[in-house]
Structure 1
């Protein structure tokens, strides 16, 4: 292993990681990352596994040749999950959180034969993904399409360096995806809230119109029944307590005076006055008293 070879290998890692700088979805980062690894380093095959419980499940794959075979093996890696128990070499890598080499998987009892055999693996390097201090997956890579060549220590270092940057790019993409989903959910909730507000606004308008209709009906009834007592019409609109308040208002009583007269708090008296103003559609006390006198005068006239 020469210094020139090491520099060239690390330059390849930098070029591969440079292709992951642009923001993208998690799926795009996976595909782009595996392809970049095979294009800028010695590796010709790469597969990404994710940790599901205590198993490794194939997530993405890239072969520099024979893409149809790659697709078949990705499906196989999803059907045949690699268990992470003490006999599997990946378990040791997971525990140590370091990259490793499996030199002779066909002969090594610790290699997972249900996958190494269909992959026809001669040797491979593997590295755990630790984007936030926790192993979430593994990246496997080999030199299958380079006849007579097996992975070596430099390949292990290259894969470890690439996987560190790849894990961060993938973690960022996952967070961006989640943020996009949350924004979409927020827009949906805001849309529902807007619809509810429109509905409430329409209901409020209907209630206002109904209130106006009620007042109009009462005024009309009062004008038609000129001999009907004023109290009868006002009773249809105000509560007995509010009638008392209106009478005191007509006599010029202040809120404090109304409170003393009715033996209630000043705030309660103020609330009664507000209700009277609203029900008489009056903007102030003077207007309410004026309407009160108008009704009573019509009744007596």
Structure 2
């Protein structure tokens, strides 16, 4: 019943100022709370525990029900027949109440997913790898967090890169400086080692007393509870996203952790697309540079003097279709906006499954778009369709610059 990685409620500290923060989770309704209290009052004498107080939020209540269920199961075999009957009743009620509470989490999960989608919209028009990196912490904060931190894994060390703390930019910059000045190795001495080894998100409570956190960063941030998720890039953990509810004095919940994990997964894919686009642009520039150097070298050898006529070269390479949105030249009118997106992904080497994942559509829809593109461009296969489309784009660019309207003629 308990979600992995979600700690049980911490015991209150001695002083009022040190009491644990309430968890940022949906509250338990009055009726459900009464039923839980009644169950705990029944189970308390049977298990020898205090059963008069139940938590206020759904996640902590479910964790308490699980603990009660396990404690009852542990003493079931040794119990007398009369006591065993009452314990079996407690076990059944634990399961029933947990199922009821699980239903209440459905709306909260839907709202959390909507926040993830809204956060990703901030990355939708990023045109470079630097923009995706810079927007990461701000987008993560849109999940409902007060603060967020983007870090990198550099030579096996945890190294902060950028931080968002709302208007408190000075503390955010100070936190990054402290982390960069005092990098910590991911050798098991930090909670973040789990992010690399297991590639799953975590929740860390009692940050100020936990021996497995970055002590200096914990002191500067004054964090009490945070969630952290790995950012994967090309199959490896390249960094982390951390987030908390410090300003609202709330402990991070399992829902928070899961939302950050979903966002971190999508964020890693956005980084991959931006990185691939950057590499393709660099390759294009390198090939064009080599082309110019080769042409200059041929002319320097005196080829024209040998009677071979003017040195003619192949047409310049067609620009590689970018993987990140940007302003495009006028496109062939016969293709819809979605078909333009699909054909550019074809040019980037994507399969139907890859296109479906990128555009968040079904594989069948992606296949249908490809068929329409082949028909409209009069191509026999995907490679020919890409070649014809790139030629039409070049013609469109020349037309815009005053050249012959070849694209118009080709499109009828």
Instruction: Give the Cα–Cα distance (whole angstroms) in 1 for the partners of residues 292 and 179 of structure 2.
Output: 42
- Offset, 1:119: 2.0
Alignment of 1:47-86 (within 5 A): 47-86=149-188
Partner of 2:150: helix, strand, or coil? strand
Q: What is the match of residue 127 of structure 2? A: 24
Q: What TM-score do you get using the length of structure 1 for normalisation?
A: 0.63
User: Is the CA contact (8 Å cut-off) linking 2:136 and 2:150 kept in structure 1?
Assistant: no
Q: What is the match of residue 171 of structure 1? A: 272
User: Is the CA contact (8 Å cut-off) linking 2:152 and 2:238 kept in structure 1?
Assistant: yes
Q: What is the match of residue 33 of structure 2? A: none
Partner of 1:160: helix, strand, or coil? helix
Instruction: Give the Cα–Cα distance (whole angstroms) in 2 for the partners of residues 151 and 127 of structure 1.
Output: 13
Instruction: Give the Cα–Cα distance (whole angstroms) in 2 for the partners of residues 180 and 144 of structure 1.
Output: 41
Partner of 2:113: helix, strand, or coil? helix
Partner of 2:127: helix, strand, or coil? coil
User: Is the CA contact (8 Å cut-off) linking 1:127 and 1:163 kept in structure 2?
Assistant: yes
Give CA deviations for 1:2-23 in whole Å, capped at 9, x if unaligned: 4333221211001111232335
User: Is the CA contact (8 Å cut-off) linking 1:101 and 1:123 kept in structure 2?
Assistant: yes
Q: What is the match of residue 219 of structure 1? A: none
Aligned residues: 204
Whether 2:136 is the aligned partner of 1:4: answer: no
Alignment of 1:1-301 (within 5 A): 1=26, 2-38=105-141, 40-146=142-248, 148-201=249-302, 205=305
Instruction: Give the Cα–Cα distance (whole angstroms) in 2 for the partners of residues 198 and 114 of structure 1.
Output: 63
Partner of 1:30: helix, strand, or coil? helix
- Offset, 1:52: 1.2
Choose between structure 1 and 2 for higher RCO, CA contacts under 8 A separated by at least 6 residues.
1
Partner of 2:286: helix, strand, or coil? helix
Root mean square deviation of aligned Cα = 1.9
User: Is the CA contact (8 Å cut-off) linking 2:201 and 2:227 kept in structure 1?
Assistant: yes
- Offset, 1:26: 1.3
Runs of 4+ displaced beyond 3 Å:
none
Question: Unaligned regions of 5+ residues in structure 1, if any?
Answer: 209-301
Q: 1:197 to 1:68 in 2, by over 3 A?
A: farther
Q: What TM-score do you get using the length of structure 2 for normalisation?
A: 0.47
Partner of 1:155: helix, strand, or coil? helix
Higher gyration radius (CA): 1
- Offset, 1:28: 0.4
Q: What is the match of residue 93 of structure 2? A: none
Instruction: Give the Cα–Cα distance (whole angstroms) in 1 for the partners of residues 175 and 271 of structure 2.
Output: 22
Deviates more, 1:92-101 or 1:188-197: 188-197
Partner of 2:210: helix, strand, or coil? coil
User: Is the CA contact (8 Å cut-off) linking 2:143 and 2:260 kept in structure 1?
Assistant: no
Instruction: Give the Cα–Cα distance (whole angstroms) in 2 for the partners of residues 78 and 99 of structure 1.
Output: 22
User: Is the CA contact (8 Å cut-off) linking 1:43 and 1:141 kept in structure 2?
Assistant: yes
Instruction: Give the Cα–Cα distance (whole angstroms) in 2 for the partners of residues 191 and 117 of structure 1.
Output: 56
**More helix by proportion, 1 or 2?**
1
Instruction: Give the Cα–Cα distance (whole angstroms) in 2 for the partners of residues 104 and 176 of structure 1.
Output: 42
Instruction: Give the Cα–Cα distance (whole angstroms) in 2 for the partners of residues 68 and 187 of structure 1.
Output: 44
Question: Unaligned regions of 5+ residues in structure 2, if any?
Answer: 1-25, 27-104, 308-412
